[in-house]
């Protein structure tokens, strides 16, 4: 973990005392970005981390530093890991106070949480944090999966896209491969050929406790019996989350923030070619199709008849045949420097 000293002359004075964590391995955290942040943040308050151990030490320092606000720089994986470390410290009673307001700096490949919060330009957003009183715009719960809490995740073909994209970026040094164009290329050259030659897996999705279905035409809730079987049959993917957005502003879970006491489950039976033919409306979260089955749940058990790719907050989880998910107890106070998106 490196504490960085400012070496630019344009140091600005701050109204609020902020602590900032930057993941040095994130896509957009290079030397130049670190230098510019160091010019605006006092050296003891800026933490540049290179691995999980450094991140743990940085989170401890941030929680116990008496900061008015904490800003986290990286992609969804970076932000999610940091939030989990904070929640872990609270569970262990290593940090007794409420969490300070937390800002997100969009510096990764996938920035779904940043999109939700209206964060887009990291330097402008940090400047907002310096001169505005840190104030949470939303208290966001996460979905707990085997003790790790995430804003979104999935099992099935959209996780396969992530794995195919990771494979492409690992084998190419081209800048475009780490952009939206890389995702499109991964889908076209890897995911679609694999999915066309493969029948869908058989899923069983069972609620634990209360749940409701979302009417496809009206978006209204339809209460279901306790412990209802939400879906059983062939499907291509099961998505879940408390935040509507994946990276690049893809609104994959448009009902995710409909209720504070539940999270969204989306079962997709749509073939990949159907998704591609409706991509603009799917991206906006406005598609109404019989291939999407949407629910709001407190807890759920997902099982598949074969191992399928899974992802949590945009990070590959390997293949899974079962996942148990529940709404996490912690509410994270997040700052929206732009307009909070629903």
pLDDT for 12-41, tens place per residue?
Answer: 445 678 999 999 998 889 899 999 999 989
Determine the pLDDT at residue 178: 63
What CA–CA distance (Å, rounded) separates 338 from 333?
15
Q: From CA 98, how far away is CA 90, in angstroms rounded? A: 9
| Average model confidence (pLDDT) across the chain | 89
Alpha-helix residue ranges (DSSP H) falling in 176-311:
180-186, 192-196, 272-277, 279-284
Banded pLDDT at 5 (limits 50, 70, 90):
very low
Tokens matching residue 134: 């840190």
Tokens of 217: 């035409």
- pLDDT at residue 308 above 90? yes
Which phi and psi (to 5°) does residue 138 adopt?
A: -150, 145
Least confident of 136-140, 193-197, 206-210, 305-309: 193-197
Predicted pLDDT at 12: 47
Distance CA 335, CA 288 (A): 31
Q: Is 3's pLDDT higher than 60?
A: no
| DSSP designation for 189 | I
Phi, psi for 340 (deg, rounded to 5): -65, 125
DSSP lists the bridge partners of residue 21 as 47, 72
**Helix/strand/coil for 236:** coil
Residue whose pair of structure tokens reads 């084998």 in the numeric block: 171
pLDDT band at 172 (very low <50, low <70, confident <90, very high): low
Residue 2 pLDDT greater than 70, yes or no: no
Burial pattern 184-204, b for ≥16 Cβ within 10 A else e, equals ebbbeebbbeebeeeebbebb
pTM higher than 0.75: yes
pLDDT tens per residue across span 207-223: 999 999 999 999 999 99
For the residues 103-111, what does the mean pLDDT come to? Answer: 91
Task: Tell me how far the alpha carbon of residue 268 is from its chain's centroid.
Answer: 19
User: Which residues share a beta bridge with 235?
Assistant: 201
Q: How far apart are CA 234 and CA 21, in angstroms?
A: 43
Residue 22: strand, helix, or coil: strand
Query: What was the pLDDT predicted at 7?
Result: 33
How many angstroms separate the CA atoms of 144 and 274, rounded?
A: 31
Tell me the pLDDT band of 94, cut-offs 50, 70 and 90.
Answer: confident
Q: Are 267 and 231 in contact (CB under 8 A)?
A: yes
CA distance 135 to 140: 14
Q: Which of 25, 126, 119 is nearest to 71 (CA)?
A: 126
pLDDT band at 6 (very low <50, low <70, confident <90, very high): very low
Judged by DSSP in three states, 301 sits in: strand
pLDDT over threshold 90, residue 281: yes
Whether the predicted pLDDT of 8 surpasses 60:
no
Give the pLDDT band of residue 260 (cuts 50, 70, 90).
very high
Cα separation of 181 and 20, whole Å?
30
pLDDT of residue 273: 82
């Amino acid at each position: 973990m490196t504490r960085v000293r400012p070496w630019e002359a344009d140091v600005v004075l701050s109204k609020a005392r902020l602590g900032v964590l930057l993941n040095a391995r994130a896509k957009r955290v290079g030397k130049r970005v670190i230098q510019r942040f160091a010019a605006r943040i006092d050296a003891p308050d800026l933490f540049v981390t290179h691995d999980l151990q450094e991140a743990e030490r940085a989170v401890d320092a941030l929680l116990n530093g008496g900061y008015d606000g904490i800003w986290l720089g990286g992609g969804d994986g970076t932000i999610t890991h940091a939030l989990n470390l904070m929640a872990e410290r609270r569970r262990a009673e290593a940090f007794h106070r409420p969490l300070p307001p937390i800002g997100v700096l969009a510096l990764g490949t996938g920035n779904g949480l940043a999109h939700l919060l209206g964060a887009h330009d990291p330097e402008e957003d940090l400047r907002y944090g310096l001169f505005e009183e840190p104030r949470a715009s939303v208290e966001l719960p996460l979905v707990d999966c085997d003790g790790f809490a995430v804003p979104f995740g999935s099992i099935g073909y959209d996780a396969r896209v992530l794995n195919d994209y990771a494979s492409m970026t690992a084998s190419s040094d081209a800048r475009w491969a780490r952009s939206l164009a890389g995702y499109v290329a991964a889908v076209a050259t890897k995911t679609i050929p694999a999915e066309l030659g493969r029948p869908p897996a058989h899923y069983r999705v069972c609620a634990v406790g209360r749940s409701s279905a979302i009417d496809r035409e009206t978006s209204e809730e339809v209460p279901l019996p306790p412990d209802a079987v939400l879906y059983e049959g062939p499907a291509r993917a099961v998505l879940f989350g408390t935040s509507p957005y994946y990276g690049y502003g893809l609104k994959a879970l448009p009902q995710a923030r409909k209720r504070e006491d539940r999270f969204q489950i989306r079962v997709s039976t749509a073939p990949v070619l159907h998704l591609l033919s409706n991509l603009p409306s799917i991206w906006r979260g406005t598609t109404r199709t019989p291939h999407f089955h949407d629910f709001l749940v407190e807890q759920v058990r997902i099982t598949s008849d074969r191992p399928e790719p899974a992802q949590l907050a945009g990070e590959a989880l390997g293949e899974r045949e079962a996942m148990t998910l529940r709404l996490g107890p912690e509410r994270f106070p997040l700052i929206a420097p732009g307009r909070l998106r629903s």
